[in-house]
Amino acid sequence: WAPDSYRGLQSLHFSNRYFTLPRYAEGEEPIPFSAEIDPKGILETIAKEKGYLHLEDNAVSFYEKVPGKNGKRQVYIYIQKKYIFNYVHTQVSFLAIPLSGQRYKMVCKLYSICVLSRLVEKVCQNTA
């Protein structure tokens, strides 16, 4: 295994797939795509036409932490657009998939992203 590179620095690449092949579902029931992820039903149509499954393991949640009405409580809401230059909290897992010859492939799987602060984004907008 070797890390990815981003702007000359070592990095990890996290991703998730929209679909799982039925032979890997192990009896898990498919879940519908949310309206935020598939507003026009395109992914749902592809899944039906190709026989793919969208499972809970394929879902990635995007949230933003915002102050509640009383200023103390924190509320998590779904965000529809992706922001850059923010402090985020991610939920990930690392999988070691066996290959032939006692070799393994490491997969970094993304489960959720929560924007904790937009401070960096705001500073960048003010200095631009």
pLDDT at 98: 85
What are 22-39's pLDDT values in tens digits? Answer: 988 888 899 998 887 788
* Radius of gyration of the chain, Cα coordinates, nearest whole angstrom: 18
What are 31-89's pLDDT values in tens digits? Answer: 998 887 788 999 999 999 999 999 888 887 777 777 777 766 555 555 555 555 466 67
> Residue 16 is encoded by which pair of tokens?
């998730």
Whether 20 and 57 have beta carbons less than 8 Å apart is answered as yes
Whether 79 and 62 have beta carbons less than 8 Å apart is answered as yes
Indicate the pTM of the whole model.
0.55
Identify which of 104, 106, 81 has the alpha carbon closest to the alpha carbon of residue 92.
106
